[in-house]
């Protein structure tokens, strides 16, 4: 009899412990859009990842922001250093919390990537961020930040330029069209300057993996950073999503390892579409043999049967597109296009 009561008690306890996990994710929150930029809008300058070691770099960022017709405002800890990080985790998160609280700040622009954004995700005030939606833009290590905010608040964030990117004409035009004008932009590879006098396009060629069109919310960023937050509460819901990935300076076997991680974690099986961007300086080992990057991507994505392509002009390249994270888009895997279905800003 005692054993029977014990088993009943254990069964009830187990059901209580496992019940929350059966519910899955909480009901999605309404999509939040930040207000569009206006000439003279204030932009908060932060260092949420790598430290600024040379003050001239900060001056370059300030000139870029002013060149956009915006007013830069420095975060209190923007020049702090803690090893390779731009200050302690709580202080870097505090700068972002402060700018979200400040109603006079319209957007937040990181100086650079590097490493460190994932470390400060637990210290962000997501309730405050949800109550004060504004533009946050960045790429590379900032993938963790733009995805984390979208996952926790449903705020549309932006995979786009950091302060120290090139800010040449094409990059600036996309930034203005999406964040100033509020256009529903269609993104498509364009000829690189090196190809301008050629009969054919050599750089940034679209390689269709599986033909077709698909719609879903756009999620993605740097593969290394994305892979590292799988299983955390800072990854947005990927059911029916369009996922894009890019990386830089990774051996091909490491790309394969991270793609395999996403596969066995069930990430790929939930997607409506897939885009692989640029993998700058992603080379094979110098040993006896290697898969090619194309073979790795095709191995993991082709069996899914969803619209997919590689070669998108997304990544650590000269022109950084301003892509809306969490917004519904339509992709065409033959043409290699990403079409926003609505503006990303109000």
Which residue in this structure is represented by tokens 């949420």? 48
The residue from 246, 250, 300, 330 that is catalytic is: 246
**Rounded to the nearest 5°, which phi and psi values hold at 278?**
-90, 145
- The 10 Å Cβ neighbour count of residue 119 is 17
Contact 66, 41 (CB under 8 A): no
H or E segment and range at residue 57:
helix 55-67
Contact 317, 278 (CB under 8 A): yes
Three-class DSSP labels, 168-211:
CHHHHHHHHHHHCCCCCCEEECCCCHHHCCCCCCCCCCCEEEEC
261 is catalytic: no
Given strand 271-280, what is the order of strands in its sheet?
A: 186-188, 337-340, 328-332, 213-222, 241-248, 271-280, 308-310, 207-210
Contact 234, 148 (CB under 8 A): yes
154 is catalytic: no
* Helical axes 293-301 vs 252-264, angle rounded to 10°: 10
Q: What is the rounded distance in angstroms from the CA atom of residue 34 to the CA atom of residue 50?
A: 26
Q: What is the rounded distance in angstroms from the CA atom of residue 307 to the CA atom of residue 305?
A: 7
Q: What is the rounded distance in angstroms from the CA atom of residue 180 to the CA atom of residue 36?
A: 5
Which residue in this structure is represented by tokens 């094979």? 284
CA 260 from chain centre, in angstroms, equals: 20
Q: Which residues contact 225 (CB under 8 A, 6 or more apart)?
A: 117, 118, 140, 141, 143, 144
The residue from 91, 118, 316, 330 that is catalytic is: 316
316 is catalytic: yes
Q: What is the rounded distance in angstroms from the CA atom of residue 98 to the CA atom of residue 95?
A: 5
Q: Which residues are catalytic?
A: 140, 246, 316
């Amino acid at each position: 009899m005692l054993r029977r009561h014990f088993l009943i008690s254990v069964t009830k306890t187990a059901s209580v412990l496992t019940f929350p996990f059966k519910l899955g994710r909480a009901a999605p929150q309404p999509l939040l859009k930040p207000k569009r930029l206006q000439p003279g809008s204030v932009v908060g300058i932060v260092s949420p990842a790598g430290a600024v070691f040379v003050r001239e770099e900060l001056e370059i960022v300030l000139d870029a922001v002013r060149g956009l017709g915006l007013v830069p405002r420095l975060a209190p800890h923007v020049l702090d250093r803690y090893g390779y990080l731009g200050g302690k985790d709580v202080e870097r998160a505090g700068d972002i919390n402060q700018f979200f609280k400040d109603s006079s700040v319209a957007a937040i622009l990181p100086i650079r990537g590097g490493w460190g954004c994932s470390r400060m995700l637990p210290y962000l005030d997501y309730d405050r961020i949800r109550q004060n939606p504004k533009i946050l833009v960045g790429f590379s290590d900032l993938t963790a930040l733009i995805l984390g905010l979208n996952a926790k608040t449903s705020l549309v964030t932006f995979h786009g330029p950091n302060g120290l990117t090139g800010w040449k004409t094409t990059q600036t035009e996309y930034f203005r069209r999406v964040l100033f004008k509020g256009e529903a932009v269609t993104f498509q590879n364009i000829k690189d300057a090196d190809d301008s006098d050629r009969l054919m396009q050599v750089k940034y060629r679209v390689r269709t993996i599986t033909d077709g069109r698909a719609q879903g919310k756009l999620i993605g960023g740097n593969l290394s950073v994305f892979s590292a937050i799988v299983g955390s509460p800072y990854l947005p819901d990927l059911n029916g999503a369009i996922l894009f990935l890019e990386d830089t300076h990774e051996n091909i076997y490491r790309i394969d390892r991270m793609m395999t991680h996403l596969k066995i974690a069930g990430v790929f099986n939930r997607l409506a579409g897939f885009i692989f961007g640029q993998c700058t300086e992603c080379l094979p080992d110098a040993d006896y043999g290697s898969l090619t990057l194309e073979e790795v991507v095709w191995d993991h994505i082709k069996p899914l049967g969803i619209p997919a392509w590689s070669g998108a002009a997304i990544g650590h390249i000269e022109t950084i597109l301003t892509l809306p994270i969490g917004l519904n888009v339509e992709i065409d895997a033959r043409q290699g296009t990403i079409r926003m279905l609505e503006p990303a800003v109000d």
